[in-house]
Amino acid sequence: MDKPWLLDSGASHTITSDLANLTTHSEYDGTDEVTLGDGSGLEISHIGSLSLKFPKKIFHFPDTLCVPYLCKNLIPVHHLTKHNNVFVELHPLYFFVKDKHTGMILLRGTCSNGVYTVPKPMVSSSPKVIAYVHERTSTDGWHKCLDHPSPKIVAHLLKSFSLPVSSSKLSSLCNSCSINKAHQLPFRPNSLKSQAPLDLVYTDVWGPTSSTGIDGSRYYIIFVDHFSKYIWFYPMVKKYDVSKIFSKFKNFVETQFQTKIKSLYSDNGGEFITLRSFLSHSGIGHYITAPDTP
């Protein structure tokens, strides 16, 4: 409690340099740092809850960061007002913290050299940290501490080094692993809509296959109607038979449905690029998917 507590309107988190100030805490296993004004970063060692006791009120600050090498303790104005049902009045030489409903003054601090300094509080301590130690020695906790290895490697390390473990069960899903090991982010819902058959038709080509069909085909093309989800399947001998087959497909479905194909959706493969002039002449819009997407 030797380091002063400062009221800060620019900080995003309550920050203390002394781990003993936190009533409950756990080790921080993320990669973020506290960025200073000169652009340098300071390591976060723990995250937990903080309670500061004053004569008229105890103020609570969840998600407080412990940054051992910080020379000041910081209280964000936003955290103070959000979690304690109060508001702050800033004056040239002092500040007030008041109850939101009654307006009663709960805390008064001074302004020195342009900095608002919070009076020295008493920190409420608690033995609740034991529960967090238990959490950190679970298999999930070791998984995070060891930089997210596979369950098999975690089990091997726990056994080889006789590491203390409170729970041997490893959760099947780790959010950090899922995000960082994914090849790409999930796709957003698209805005394409259809009101009737043939408003929008999807198409794609697959092949070549390792074996040849009895008709000599090594590829196939499918057409999917966006509205009805009906699928048409055509085997192909050569990949560039697309132009010939699409012409036949167009005549067939437009006759059956008594309506025209309005839009075609495909990837940007060369077999579909050759269709552009035909589609343009027929008044059919052509949409293409982004590269490296299904």
- Residue-wise pLDDT for 117-132, tens only, equals 998 886 554 444 333 4
Q: Residues 116, 148: one domain?
A: no
Query: Does 8 qualify as catalytic in the annotation?
Result: yes
Mean pLDDT, all residues of the chain: 84
Domain boundary among 98, 123, 148: 123
Indicate the DSSP class of residue 187.
P
Q: Residues 65, 30: one domain?
A: yes
Neighbours of 293 (CB within 10 A): 8
Give the per-residue pLDDT at 127: 42
Q: Residues 113, 62: one domain?
A: yes
Give the per-residue pLDDT at 171: 62
Rounded to 5°, the CA angle 88-90-94 comes to 110
The domain spanning residue 207 has which CATH number? 3.30.420.10
Q: Residues 93, 155: one domain?
A: no
Most confident of 124-133, 166-175, 212-221, 283-292: 212-221
Percent pLDDT > 90 in the chain is 39
Residue 199: pLDDT above 90?
yes
Q: With the C-alpha atoms ordered 161, 167, 170, 171, is the resulting torsion angle positive or negative?
A: negative
Q: What is the mean pLDDT of residues 205-234?
A: 92
Q: What is the mean pLDDT of residues 187-206?
A: 85
Q: Residues 12, 105: one domain?
A: yes
- The structural domain count of the chain equals 3
Tens of pLDDT, residue by residue over 85-107, are 999 999 999 999 999 888 899 99
Rounded to 5°, the CA angle 149-155-160 comes to 110
Most confident of 45-49, 129-133, 177-181, 248-252: 248-252
Residue 203: pLDDT above 50?
yes
Write out the two tokens for 252.
Answer: 């067939």
Q: Residues 45, 102: one domain?
A: yes
Q: What is the mean pLDDT of residues 235-254?
A: 93
Q: Residues 9, 119: one domain?
A: yes
**Alpha helices for 74-215 (secondary structure H):** 77-84, 129-136, 139-145, 151-160, 175-181
218 in any annotated domain: yes
Q: Residues 75, 40: one domain?
A: yes
75 in any annotated domain: yes
Strand, helix or coil for residue 216: coil
Give the per-residue pLDDT at 144: 79
Write out the two tokens for 60.
Answer: 């609570």
195 in any annotated domain: no
pTM over 0.75: no
Name which of 3, 54, 25 is nearest 126 in CA terms.
25
183: pLDDT confidence band, cut at 50, 70 and 90?
low
- Scanning the structure block, which residue is given the tokens 């307006």? 103
Range name among 57-61, 154-158, 215-219 with the lowest pLDDT average = 154-158
Q: Residues 12, 78: one domain?
A: yes
The domain spanning residue 28 has which CATH number? 2.40.70
179 in any annotated domain: no
**Residue 113 falls in which region: left (phi positive, over 0), alpha (psi -120 to 50) or beta:** left
Q: Which amino acid, residue 101?
A: H
Q: With the C-alpha atoms ordered 258, 263, 269, 270, is the resulting torsion angle positive or negative?
A: positive
Q: Residues 12, 91: one domain?
A: yes
185 in any annotated domain: no
Neighbours of 264 (CB within 10 A): 22
The catalytic residue among 8, 18, 63, 199 is 8
Q: Residues 48, 112: one domain?
A: yes
Q: Residues 11, 112: one domain?
A: yes
Q: Is 284 within 8 Å of 275 (Cβ atoms)?
A: no
**Using CA atoms, how far apart are residues 87 and 83, in angstroms rounded to an integer?**
11
Question: Domain range holding 50?
Answer: 5-123
**Alpha helices for 15-93 (secondary structure H):** 77-84
Give the per-residue pLDDT at 30: 76
Q: What is the mean pLDDT of residues 62-79?
A: 89
**Residue 33 falls in which region: left (phi positive, over 0), alpha (psi -120 to 50) or beta:** beta
129 in any annotated domain: no
Size of the chain, expressed as the number of residues it contains: 294
